[in-house]
Structure formats: C-alpha cells, structure tokens
C-alpha cells in the first residue's frame, strides 16, 4: 500500500490541478489526471522529506474557514491602516515562542500569520523555537501572541502533530 | 454595467502599476525594489485578467499563470541572492 | 443581478489592488511596506480572478474554474515571498521604525550574524592580500629585471 500509493493526499491534489489546468471534466482527462497523480508521487518519492499525515481533517477544514475569514478581515484592517495617517502607526517586532516542531506545520503557521490582520512573519530562529513577527500597528503584544497561539497554532498542532 | 465598470477598474489597476513603478525607481534599498517588482507582477496579473474579461477571451489565463509562477521564482531568487551572495550553491 | 455581483467583485478587486500599491508609497519603512502588497493585493487579485471564473462559467457552456488555480497559487506564494523579503531586509540590517527585538536568543543570533560578517571580511581580505604574495615570487623569480630594485633587499 505504501509503495503503490506513497502519498494518499498528493494523488487527488495532482489530479485536481491537472483538471483545473485543462479546464475540463472529460472522462479521458480524469483518467489521465489519476494516472499522473499516481505516477508522479511514486517517481518523486525520494525528494519528499516526510510523509504528511492529517490526523483530524475536520479541524483542518475549520481552520481553513477561520483563515479565510481572517484574510478578508485582514484586508479591511490593512486598507484602513494604509488610508489612515501613516505617522501614527506603531510597528513592533515580537518574538513568538513556537510549540510546533514539524517543518510543514511551522511553514503553514508562518503563512497564516502573514495572511492575517496586521502581522507578518519575518524570521525563524536557528533552533526553530522562536518566530519573529512584525506587527503593523500593535501595542498589546502579549494579547497578540496569545491570539496567534490559540487561533492558529493549536489547530495546526492538533492536525499535524500528535497531542 | 460591466462595460462601464471594467474601464474604471482598468484605470485603478493602471494607477496601482504606476505607484509600484514609482517605488521601483525611488526605492531607497534593494529589498524595496524587489518588493516593488513583486507587486508589479501581481498587478500585471490583475491587469491581464481584467483585459481578458474585457475582450471576452480565455487566452490570457496561461500568460497570467506564467507571470505568477515566474514572478514568485524571481522574487525568491533575488532574496536568496541578497541572503547568501549567490543563487545556486 | 449576476452582472451587478460581477461588477461589485471587479470594483472591489481593483480598489484593493490600488490600496495595496498605495501602501508601497505611503508607508515609511520596508517592514511596514511589506504588509500592503501581501494582504491587500492578494485579496484584490483573488476577487478579480473569481470574477473572471464566474464570468467565463456563465458566458460559455462549460464551467471555467482554472482561475482558481492562480488564486490558490497567489495565496500560497505571497506570504513566502514576503517572508523572504523580511529575512533579506533583516540580514542587511535595514533600519526600521520599530525597535528591534531584545530577546536573548535573538541577540545571540545577531551576534552570530555580526560574527559571520567579519568572517566574510576575513575571507575577502586574504583575497585582496593574495595578489601580493603572488607578485612577490614574481619579483624574486625575476631579480634580473632592472625595474625591481626593492626585492633585491630580500635576496
């Protein structure tokens, strides 16, 4: 099973990308996409550092919903800050202590932080324990860290790492 | 309705491109210029998509996709150059 | 009705794209400027692409969803390029409006970075010194030339 289908998530994802690229749902393209999605993970298995295991798919779906909502909110927040007086902004750097350990989870957390209101991940420390976050307009840094940890880090930890 | 909205939107996106271009020329530091280039790529995608709707043609999709791919790779390569001094180690 | 919705999406997208680029001009330092294009532009272009997908799906017979591919790609790549830019700016020690972080771990890193940069200078300085030892043997191998009186002292 693991040799014939090394990445169970990558196969439908590749098939979906193939169908979107060709912009059809013809049966022939579905078969070709399934074949490509089956062959490419087998041929490229050596380049993948770790197999991804999603433990709780519903938590991931809920996380994506929260993220989408926050992206839309973030746009209005940043638009208001840009259109306001730029001299009154109070940008700060905050060190965010990380509980996550796997590469994929840290990457997803950094991406989520950048896409959400007024924050931007700037640098991961060498020992992977701190993420430097730049906030556009923030005075209460402790509340910001608590929000990020509760809202994004905990679901990611539940999904990608064993609790 | 669409016939009146699309020219307005095209004007707004063109103004956005002019602003990023200003930052590209003016930018005091190198990362500023790279950021301006990155924004230019994204604005160009917006312009191409709008133009595709305007002409009713599906042909601009591939160009937009290519610009998205190449823009991202270009930005990452330029940042790598700033960080390490060379691109391919 | 659909046309009004499409017009709304297109106008929102164009306005957000404009605001993102306006942030490039109005904000004062690089780290704050990074916020504008990554957020506003992403949603702006995203809604434009969704408008395009709806437009072509309703106009032609078949559905046309491939614009979603670009939207997904932009949503994945925009934070990555912003992160790389911020990292490059920190590496170059660009000045910021915000106070730089005072975490002990970060200070160690800053020291490590500062230790790295003199090391690079040390690497560079032998390169500049290298021609001199190379020229000295040339002088010693050519003692007969009349233009080099000083190496004769070493001989």
| Whether residue C62 is found in the same domain as residue C127 | no
- Chain A residues close to C66, C-beta within 8 Å: 20-21, 23
Q: Does C58 touch chain A (CB under 8 A)?
A: no
Cβ within 8 Å, pair B16-C70: no
In this complex, the residue of C18, C30, C87 whose CB is nearest that of residue B83 is: C87
CB-based contact, C70 to chain A, within 8 Å: no
Interface of C with B in 84-103 (CB under 8 A): 84-85, 87-89, 91-92, 94
Given the structure tokens 């190379």, which residue do they identify? C134
Query: C108 and C33 in one domain?
Result: no
Per the structure, the complete domain to which residue B61 belongs is given by: 2-84
Q: What is the pLDDT of residues B32-68, one digit of tens each?
A: 888 899 899 889 988 998 888 888 877 888 888 899 8
Asked if A14 and A33 sit in the same domain, the reply is yes
* 3-class DSSP state of C80: helix
Question: Is residue C79, in this structure, part of any structural domain at all?
Answer: yes
Range of the domain at A42: 10-47
**Domain identity same for C45 and C15:** yes
Class of residue C64 by CB neighbours under 10 A (exposed 0-12, middle 13-18, buried 19+): buried
* Integer Cα distance of B40 and B46 in angstroms: 10
B73 vs A115: which has the higher pLDDT? B73
Same domain, C60 and C92: yes
pLDDT above 70 coverage of chain C, percent = 60
Q: Which domain holds residue C94?
A: 2-99
Kindly state the average pLDDT of the residues C30-48.
Answer: 82
- What is d(CA B14, CA C18) in angstroms, rounded to the nearest whole number? 9
A41 and A61 co-located in one domain: no
Is there a single domain that holds both residue A91 and residue A128?
A: yes
CA distance A30 to A13: 12
**Domains held by chain A: number:** 2
Same-domain pairing of C70 and C92: yes
C85 interfaces chain A, CB cutoff of 8 Å: no
- What is the dihedral angle through the alpha carbons of A24, A28, A32, A34, rounded to the nearest 10 degrees? 80
DSSP bridge pairs for A97: A130
Identify whether residues C67 and C49 lie together within a single domain. Answer: yes
Q: Which residue in the set B31, B43, B56 is minimally distant from C92, CB to CB?
A: B31
In a domain, B13, yes or no: yes
- DSSP letter at C155 equals -
d(CA A105, CA A53): 11
- Does a structural domain hold residue B89? no
Measure Cα distances from B36 to B26, C25, C131 in Å: 10, 10, 41
Number of domains in chain C: 2
Mean pLDDT of A35-51: 79
With a CB-CB cutoff of 8 Å, which residues 48-77 of chain C face chain B?
48-49, 51-52, 55-56, 59, 64, 66-67, 69-70, 73-74, 77
The chain-wide mean pLDDT, for chain B, equals 86
pLDDT at C66 over 60: yes
Judge if C126 and C88 occupy the same domain.
no
Give a yes or no: residue C151 inside a domain. Answer: no
ipTM score of complex: 0.85
Percentage of residues in chain A having pLDDT higher than 70: 91
| Candidate from A86, A118, A122 with C-beta closest to C86 | A122
Give SS3 for C92: coil
Nearest by CB to residue A93, choosing from C75, C98, C112, is C98
Count structural domains, chain B: 1
Q: What is the 3-state secondary structure (H, E, C) of chain A?
A: CCCCCCCCCHHHHHHHHHHHHHCCCCHHHHHHHHHHHHHHHHHCHHHCCCCCCCCCHHHHHHHHHHHHHHHHHHHHHHHHHHHCCHHHCCCEEEEEECCCCCHHHHHHHHHHHHHCCCEEEEEECCCCCEEEEEECCCCCHHHHHHHHHHHHHHHHHHHHCCC
Whether C147 maps to a domain, the answer reads: no
- The reported pLDDT for the residue numbered B15 is 92
Reported as a single tens digit per residue, the pLDDT across C114-129 is 554 444 444 444 444 4
Q: Is B15 on the interface with C (CB under 8 A)?
A: yes
**Residues C68 and C38 occupy one common structural domain:** yes
A20 shares its domain with A80: no
C55 domain residue, yes or no: yes
Band the pLDDT of C102: cuts 50, 70, 90.
low
Any domain includes A142: yes
Residue A115 lies in a domain: yes
Q: Is residue A22 part of a domain?
A: yes
**Same domain membership, residue A35 and residue A70:** no
């Amino acid at each position: 099973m693991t040799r014939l289908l090394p990445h169970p998530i990558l196969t439908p994802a590749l098939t979906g990308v193939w169908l979107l690229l060709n912009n059809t749902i013809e049966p022939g393209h579905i078969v070709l996409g399934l074949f490509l999605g089956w062959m490419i993970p087998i041929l490229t298995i050596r380049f993948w550092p770790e197999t991804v295991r999603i433990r709780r798919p519903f938590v991931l779906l809920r996380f994506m919903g929260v993220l989408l909502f926050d992206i839309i909110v973030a746009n209005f927040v940043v638009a208001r800050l840009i259109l306001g007086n730029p001299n009154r902004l109070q940008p700060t750097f905050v060190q965010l202590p990380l509980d996550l350990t796997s590469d994929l989870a840290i990457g997803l957390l950094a991406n989520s932080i950048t896409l959400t209101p007024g924050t931007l991940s700037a640098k991961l420390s060498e020992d992977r324990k701190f993420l430097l976050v730049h906030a556009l307009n923030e005075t209460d840094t402790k509340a910001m860290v608590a929000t990020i940890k509760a809202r994004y880090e905990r679901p990611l930890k539940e999904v990608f790492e064993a609790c | 309705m669409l016939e009146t909205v699309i020219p307005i939107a095209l004007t707004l996106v063109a103004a956005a491109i002019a602003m990023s271009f200003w930052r590209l020329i003016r930018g005091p530091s190198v990362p500023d210029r790279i950021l301006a280039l990155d924004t230019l790529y994204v604005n160009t995608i917006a312009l191409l998509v709008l133009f595709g709707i305007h002409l009713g043609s599906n042909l601009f999709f591939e160009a937009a996709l290519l610009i998205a791919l190449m823009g991202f790779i270009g930005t990452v390569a330029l940042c790598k150059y700033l960080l390490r001094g060379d691109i391919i180690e | 009705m659909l046309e009004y919705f499409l017009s709304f999406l297109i106008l929102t997208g164009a306005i957000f794209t404009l605001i993102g680029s306006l942030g490039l001009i109005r904000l004062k330092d690089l780290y704050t400027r990074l916020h504008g294009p990554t957020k506003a532009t992403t949603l702006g272009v995203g809604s434009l692409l969704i408008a395009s997908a709806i437009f072509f799906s309703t106009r032609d017979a078949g559905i046309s969803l491939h614009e979603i591919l670009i939207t997904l790609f932009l949503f994945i790549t925009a934070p990555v390029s912003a992160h790389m830019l911020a990292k490059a700016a920190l590496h170059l020690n660009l000045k910021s409006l915000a106070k730089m972080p005072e975490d002990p771990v970060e200070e160690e890193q800053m020291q490590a970075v500062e230790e790295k940069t003199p090391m690079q200078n040390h690497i560079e300085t032998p390169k500049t010194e290298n021609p001199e030892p190379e020229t000295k043997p040339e002088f010693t191998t050519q003692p007969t030339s009349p233009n080099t009186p000083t190496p004769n002292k070493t001989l």
